[in-house]
Amino acid sequence: MKKQFYETSIDFIYNKPSQENINWLKANAKPMPIDQNFRIKSLHSYKDIKLKGVLNLMYTRTALVIKLNQILEHLPHNFSFLIFDAFRTIETQFDLFRYIYEQQKDLHPALSHEELFAITKEFIVHPAEKSLYEIPPHNSGGALDLTLALDGQALNMGTDFDCVSECSQTIWFEQDYIQGAGYTKDEWFAIRKNRRLLFNAMKRAGFVNYTAEWWHYDLGDCHWAKTLDLDWYYPSLESELLE
């Protein structure tokens, strides 16, 4: 199965889930700490940088934990998942938007507030803006930021998690090798294989990818529903966890 994932190009054509699949997602909607398996490790990236509103445990919905375990059954035993982020409070969503905005301001001091705001929105939903998503994907508990590891070491995916760069686009390394882009030819093709492995493993399990971020995958949230032209998606998970 791993070889098949490597050899299949990344494409964003997904099969719609059946009503039975949707009913299964509904039936497995309870919140659950994500690291229920020694092959799934939460890195708690936003707790480390002290963003506001971050919980002590990393949660997602039960359905997503089950799916991750199913994916691992099809990979060799020395592969594992590293989880950067899962459920995210609205407070954390606001603070992360501010954090990325300030990063961009440091990188592009000549840009206006409007230009910086627009760049930031390419990488994170502003929770006050309802025109794109009624519920920010991470707030629903249906979004995961993750990567694969081999023998405990994260695979080379070409950029760091949360890197605001065109190289973070999931299909970036599907194009022909670009000399002078900062990668050797061997690195380029290794990154392509690694991204294909992650993408195709997640896609096979029913996830969809946010195309600007190789690390972001959705199942049952509003981005998943919009991508698949579905009416149903998970509500916010916040009230269940913080009540």
- Measuring CA to CA, which residue among 214, 201, 211, 210 is closest to residue 6? 201
Lowest-pLDDT range, 3-7, 168-172, 216-220? Answer: 3-7
Q: Point out the least confidently predicted range of 71-75, 124-128, 217-221.
A: 124-128
What does the pLDDT look like over 16-50, one tens digit per residue? Answer: 999 999 999 999 999 999 988 999 999 988 988 89
Indicate which residues carry an active-site annotation: 213
For position 98, what pLDDT does the model report?
A: 95
Please give the average per-residue pLDDT across 155-177, as a whole number.
Answer: 95
Q: Which amino acid is at 121?
A: K
Determine the residue type at 49.
Answer: I
Contact yes or no for 98/116 (Cβ under 8 A): no
**Cβ neighbours for 196, distance < 8 A, ≥ 6 positions apart:** 5, 6, 7, 8, 9, 10
| CB 63 within 8 Å of CB 17 | no
CA 179 to chain centre: 28
**What does pTM read for this prediction?**
0.93
Q: Tokens 């294909």 belong to which residue?
A: 196
Q: How does the average pLDDT of the chain come out, rounded?
A: 94
What class does CATH assign to 2-87+132-242? alpha beta
Write down the pLDDT at residue 154. 98
Residues 124 and 137: their CA atoms lie apart, in Å, by 10
Residue range 136-160: average pLDDT? 97
138 appears as a binding residue in the annotation: yes
Helix (H) or strand (E) holding 60: strand 59-61
At 162, the pLDDT band (50, 70, 90 cuts) reads: confident
**Is 145 annotated as a binding-site member?**
yes
Of 125-129, 146-150, 168-172, 195-199, minimum mean pLDDT range:
125-129
End-to-end Cα separation, the chain, in angstroms: 42
The pLDDT assigned to 115 comes to 94
Q: Residue 1, Cβ neighbours under 10 Å: how many?
A: 14
pLDDT (0 to 100) of residue 4: 87
Q: Is the dihedral of CA 32, 33, 38, 42 positive or negative?
A: positive
Q: What is the pLDDT of residues 59-81, one digit of tens each?
A: 999 999 999 999 999 999 999 99
- 2 vs 102, more confident: 102
Q: What is the pLDDT of residue 64?
A: 99
Over residues 209-234, the mean pLDDT reads: 97
Q: Is 216 annotated as a binding residue?
A: yes
pLDDT surpassing 90 at residue 242: no
